[in-house]
Amino acid sequence: MNIRIFPYFRVLLRDTFSTSPCPVVQTVANRRARMGGMIRRLRTLLLPAALLSACLAGAAEIPWRPYEAARSAAAKNGTLIFVEVGASWCGVCRQMDRTTLRARSVIQALAKVPSVRLDAEKDGRTFSQRHRVGSFPTYLLIDASGSEFGRMNGGTDPAPFVEFLQSSIERHSAFRTMTARVARNRRDAEAFAVLARVNAERGALGAAEPQAKRARELGLRGQVLGDAYYAIGRRHAEAGRAADCLAAMRRAVAEFKEPRRIGLARIGSAAALADLGRIKEAREQLDLLLKVAGMPEGLRSSAERMKRALG
């Protein structure tokens, strides 16, 4: 019987996976730190407006540009474009403008990236439709052609926002580098695998899956190929495609040697199997994870919670 618990596990996978290859699962300490961040944000929201304005007086600002000017600059310099899509009535947009977007670390991260601010109900209407913006604020990193390399919805603190910016910029850099390598050598298996990972992370599965297949056909084995299948599996997991997730995660497990990566892929496999109603096989995946020497404690705890959820 299909007990349909994959949506629950997709939340766990979202916490487990990030935009960088194979991150460590959140530990109790990390979760406490995140709760502390929530409390700090609440305190900020409760500050009197006058006090908040005084605290931020003289703060630097992102140098916003018109969209076409930003696109021209990005095309000339080979950079991404940072786009904020909001609305005049959006309270979270205003809060982000007063806090996170004025943080020095954020401004530094965007130093070489032309930035654009659009109102989805005014000058950003066409852009919002093209990029399927459904909530405000939405932050995107796109190239001059409009291809997306990063997206974040809603508000957050400076540290995770900088992480989002940096990972998007690094993804774009890897994409450009590996695309050039493939153009020079169509048998560059590693470049195909890295491109597959990058394209999966940015949601371009139509490109990622053939690239991973090509890397495998060229004889590539090991972590780089595993990371590609891991990213493909994660994207299928986020979309609720259990069978496709399972196929990709199994390939990732076959390539990985490092315990953390093996654990992440087995968690993905177990989640997909559970959604497909194959509960016994899901438990077997978790048991295999728990037998691996050197498995990080956070992953062990996640596996044990999943086993309890499976009954």
pLDDT greater than 50 at residue 102: yes
How many CA atoms lie within 13 Å of 140's alpha carbon, on the beta-carbon side?
25
Contact present, 81 and 74 (Cβ < 8 Å)? yes
Q: Three-state SS for 301?
A: helix
Q: Three-state SS for 135?
A: coil
When pLDDT is averaged across residues 198-220 and rounded to a whole number, the result is 97
pLDDT greater than 90 at residue 39: no
pLDDT in tens, 161-188: 999 999 999 999 999 999 999 999 999 9
Q: Three-state SS for 152?
A: strand
Please count the other Cβ atoms lying within 10 Å of the Cβ belonging to residue 106: 21
* Residue 46 burial by Cβ neighbours in a 10 Å radius (0-12, 13-18, 19+): exposed
CA distance 198 to 172: 8
Task: Using a pLDDT cut of 90, give the percent of the chain over it.
Answer: 79
Instruction: Categorize the per-residue pLDDT at 59 as very low, low, confident or very high, splitting at 50, 70 and 90.
Output: low
Q: Three-state SS for 119?
A: strand
Q: 6-17+185-310: CATH homologous superfamily?
A: Tetratricopeptide repeat domain (1.25.40.10)
What residue segments make up the domains of the chain, in order of their start? Answer: 6-17+185-310, 67-167
CATH 3.40.30.10 assigned to 67-167: yes
CA distance 270 to 266: 6
Q: Which of 19-28, 67-76, 93-102, 175-184 has the lowest mean pLDDT?
A: 19-28
pTM of the model: 0.80
pLDDT greater than 50 at residue 55: no
Average pLDDT of the chain is 86
Question: In the sheet where 81-86 sits, what is the strand order?
Answer: 115-119, 81-86, 138-142, 148-153
Instruction: Categorize the per-residue pLDDT at 265 as very low, low, confident or very high, splitting at 50, 70 and 90.
Output: very high
pLDDT of the residue at 98: 95
Instruction: Categorize the per-residue pLDDT at 311 as very low, low, confident or very high, splitting at 50, 70 and 90.
Output: confident
Please state, in angstroms and as integers, the Cα–Cα distance from residue 53 to each residue in 59, 104, 282, following that order.
10, 17, 53
